Amino acid sequence: MIKPFDPSKFEPNRSFWRNGITLSLVAMVVLVALIKVMTTLKVTSPGDLNVYCAAGLRKPIMEAATAFEEEFKVDVKFDFASSGGMEAKLELDAGRGRTYAALFIPADVFFADRARGKGLTAESVTLASFRLVVASKPSANLEISSLDDIIENKIPFAICDPEAAAGKTTMKALQIAEKWSNFFQAKKASFPTVNETAVAVQTSDAVQAGFVWNTTAQQYGLKIHDLPGLAKVRSSITANVVATSDKPAQALLFARYLAAAEKGQPFFVKHHFTSMPGDPWEKTPELNLYCGGVNREAIEETIKAFQEREGCLVSVQYAGCGTLVSGIQAIQSGDGAGAMPDAFMTCDASYMNKVSELFGEASDVSATDVVLLLRRENPKTKNVSTLDHLIQPDLMIGTTDPTKSTLGDLSWQLLEGWGAADILKEKESFRTWPTAHELIGAMGASSKLDVAMVYAANCQNLSEKEFKTIPINDPLAQAIQNVAVAKVSRYPQLTERLIEAITSAESRERFKKAGFRWKAAEDSIESP
């Protein structure tokens, strides 16, 4: 026979279950356990899309999923538990060499970041946010104006286990306030999930208050106490693609659906979450990328893989950076046709500086050097080893147009710095081509062109028996390629993920193969 709860016999350091609780609370906990079992049984048969999701997000996520299923005829299956519990399941799946879930949706970015750090997840889409509050049952008529009131007035309260997002956030907030030890010792109970904590506050005489999300408190009709110590304690919700999933496009489609103001966001608002609208909804969105021509060989495979994985289109305009910058400036002034590109990847960072007010913070990607390209069997270039050797008689030198191309601009700056530019102009022994590709083609086809100033990355496919390159010992001989999202991009989140792909470990290998030096941070997002 279970004895009624006696507050006088409560021992704070003993477990919740050994302190004695009311029959109603026991029944409630048993019911919650049964619901969890039933939920687990429900998802044992995989759907078209399987999701590991924090229990506190159940209501908006399930409602949004129902609408998604109807629209796309996709069967979405969920496994609900604590954020830490779902992360543990991802690790267990990985350890067994299997993939069940395609998406992981924890209730706090801490778990998302940790899972990504372990290599368990890849792309991330921000969905919504909520804040941590202290909530009580309305019938208790509690007046709580500060965290200290809870301890000083000996209010029986509950917290979530730190493996749950609400529990982790509670612990961090109280640690910052240097109150965690006192609260941990004084707690009446702890529960695996925020929903169970809210139910305990709602139904139990033993627990009158709890640390829960504001959304959860409102869903269960609890009274929220806005305390100064918790005013800025928020949690961000993200949908994270499981790294080993074979359904990334479908997972990202659902994630984008949840984040879109026209689709998933109303369900979050309905359940009192703070909306964080994602990109406008489009089943197959199209991005516009302006990209310096030197990057083409290194980036094309990444663009193709990104389109397939994201289920989107990327329209790429390759050209010299002078041409691209002129086009961007014309669009800005209203004299150019079309819309501003979603992103700009340069041949050299100096060109990003010319339009920096139109783009967000740029990320360095790679670097390459301007070199001298010669034929090995050309007697006229036998003694050419530096830029000042280019002024010798009867030597024809070529590079790209300095008004349209980064390569041409850097080449002229180098020649001017070495005092060779004016001499070459007088001798009329300097020619320009529109692109590096055409310049190298001319070098191979014409014996009249003796030296070409090109990027080292342009020379990867040339025969070493026929051609040789000579490095230029000058700081100006280096071009750094960077990339940034346009401030007016229609799809800023999707474009950010494109940049993640461009700066990924997989992309790094493609750039190195194409003759570039890698400049992106070594801790850039790893490709799945």
Q: Would you list the domain boundaries of the chain? A: 7-21+130-234, 28-127+235-275, 286-528
Rounded Cα distance, 83 and 106, in Å: 5
Query: Which range is least confidently modeled, 30-39, 257-266, 329-338, 475-484?
Result: 30-39
What percent of the chain is modeled with pLDDT above 90? Answer: 65
Question: Which residues share a beta bridge with 105?
Answer: 53
Distances in whole angstroms, Cα of residue 506 to Cα of each of 178, 522, 528: 44, 12, 9
pLDDT tens digit sequence for 307-344: 999 999 999 999 989 999 999 999 998 887 788 999 99
Largest separation between any pair of C-alpha atoms in the chain: 109
Distances in whole angstroms, Cα of residue 225 to Cα of each of 140, 214, 217, 306, 329: 13, 10, 10, 46, 52
Q: Return the half-sphere exposure (C-beta side, CA atoms, 13 A cut-off) of residue 248.
A: 19
Rounded Cα distance, 520 and 366, in Å: 7
Which carries the bigger pLDDT value, residue 429 or residue 403? 403
Amino acid 12: pLDDT: 39
Does 19 score more than 60 pLDDT?
A: no
Backbone angles phi, psi at 268, to 5 degrees: -70, -45
Q: How many CB atoms lie within 10 A of CB 332?
A: 14
Amino acid 41: pLDDT: 35
Distances in whole angstroms, Cα of residue 201 to Cα of each of 137, 140, 217, 243: 6, 10, 10, 38
| Domain 28-127+235-275 coded CATH 3.40.190.10 | yes
Band (pLDDT 50/70/90 cuts) for residue 5 is very low
H helical segments located in 118-227: 147-152, 165-176, 180-186, 194-203, 214-219
The mean per-residue pLDDT over the stretch 102-131 comes to 94
* 355 Cβ neighbours under 8 A, 6+ residues apart: 325, 328, 329, 332, 344
Amino acid 424: pLDDT: 78
Band (pLDDT 50/70/90 cuts) for residue 291 is very high
Concatenating the DSSP letter of every residue in 5-66 gives P-GGG--TTS-TGGG---HHHHHHHHHHHHHHHHHHHHTSS--SEEEEEEGGGHHHHHHHHH
| 442 token code pair | 């001319």
Judge contact between 372 and 470, C-beta under 8 A.
Answer: yes
Q: Give the closest residue to 320 by CA, choosing from 338, 342, 345.
A: 345
What percent of the chain is modeled with pLDDT above 70? Answer: 89
Amino acid 190: pLDDT: 92
Amino acid 446: pLDDT: 66
Average model confidence (pLDDT) for the chain?
87
- The amino acid that residue 113 corresponds to is D
Does 238 score more than 80 pLDDT?
A: yes
Does 23 score more than 80 pLDDT?
A: no
Band (pLDDT 50/70/90 cuts) for residue 430 is confident
Judge contact between 261 and 159, C-beta under 8 A.
Answer: no
Amino acid 210: pLDDT: 96
| Domain 7-21+130-234 coded CATH 3.40.190.10 | yes
Q: Give the closest residue to 220 by CA, choosing from 157, 272, 266.
A: 272
Query: Which range is least confidently modeled, 126-140, 176-190, 424-438?
Result: 424-438
Amino acid 46: pLDDT: 62
Q: H-helix or E-strand containing 480? A: strand 478-485
28-127+235-275 matches 7-21+130-234 in CATH topology: yes
Rounded Cα distance, 276 and 162, in Å: 25
Q: How many CB atoms lie within 10 A of CB 295?
A: 25
Q: Give the closest residue to 255 by CA, choosing from 310, 312, 304.
A: 310
Q: Name the E strands within 137-279.
A: 157-160, 189-191, 209-213, 223-225, 234-242, 274-275
Rounded Cα distance, 18 and 315, in Å: 64
Distances in whole angstroms, Cα of residue 234 to Cα of each of 148, 172, 379, 410: 20, 11, 71, 49
Band (pLDDT 50/70/90 cuts) for residue 447 is low
Amino acid 45: pLDDT: 52
pLDDT tens digit sequence for 172-191: 999 999 999 999 999 999 99
Rounded Cα distance, 515 and 369, in Å: 10
Reported pTM: 0.80
Judge contact between 462 and 371, C-beta under 8 A.
Answer: no
Does 139 score more than 70 pLDDT?
A: yes
Burial of 284 (0-12, 13-18, 19+ CB in 10 A): exposed
Angle at 67 between CA 126 and CA 488, to 5 degrees: 40
Q: Give the closest residue to 74 by CA, choosing from 241, 252, 237, 244.
A: 252
The mean per-residue pLDDT over the stretch 76-101 comes to 94
Amino acid 39: pLDDT: 40
Band (pLDDT 50/70/90 cuts) for residue 43 is very low
Does 303 score more than 70 pLDDT?
A: yes
Distances in whole angstroms, Cα of residue 315 to Cα of each of 300, 306, 340: 11, 12, 12
pLDDT tens digit sequence for 362-418: 999 999 999 999 988 888 888 888 888 888 878 888 888 888 888 888 988 898 888
Burial of 62 (0-12, 13-18, 19+ CB in 10 A): middle
Rounded Cα distance, 227 and 507, in Å: 47
Residue 519's SS3 state is coil
pLDDT tens digit sequence for 142-157: 999 999 999 999 999 9
Does 351 score more than 50 pLDDT?
A: yes
The mean per-residue pLDDT over the stretch 486-493 comes to 96
The mean per-residue pLDDT over the stretch 291-307 comes to 96
CATH architecture of 286-528: 3-Layer(aba) Sandwich (3.40)
Amino acid 334: pLDDT: 87
Q: Is the dihedral of CA 486, 487, 489, 494 positive or negative?
A: positive
